[in-house]
């Protein structure tokens, strides 16, 4: 499974946008973990899906 890099870039851009406006809205407490965690969660998800794909591929034969 090839990850969708455009979608990943959009999510990271949104996260950085929230980080940029956070000091004005005092939401940095929420924005910072989101900006850090989303890319990690997505990469873990991609790895998990890749494992599932390989397992289903093996079970077919």
Domain count, the chain: 1
Question: CB–CB of 38/11 below 8 Å?
Answer: yes
> How many Cβ atoms are within 10 Å of 13's Cβ, its own excluded?
10
Which domain does 24 fall in, by range?
Answer: 5-60
**pLDDT (average), residues 21-35:** 64
Residue 57 in this model has a pLDDT that exceeds 70: no
Question: CB–CB of 28/22 below 8 Å?
Answer: yes
* Whole-prediction pTM: 0.30
Radius of gyration of the chain (CA): 16
**pLDDT (average), residues 32-58:** 64
Question: Higher model confidence: residue 45 or residue 58?
Answer: 45
Question: CB–CB of 1/46 below 8 Å?
Answer: yes
């Amino acid at each position: 499974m090839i990850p969708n890099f455009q979608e990943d870039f959009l999510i990271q851009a949104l996260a950085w946008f929230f980080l940029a406006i956070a000091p004005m809205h005092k939401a940095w407490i929420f924005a910072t973990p989101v900006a850090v965690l989303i890319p990690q969660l997505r990469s873990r998800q991609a790895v998990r899906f890749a494992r599932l794909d390989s397992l289903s591929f093996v079970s077919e034969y």
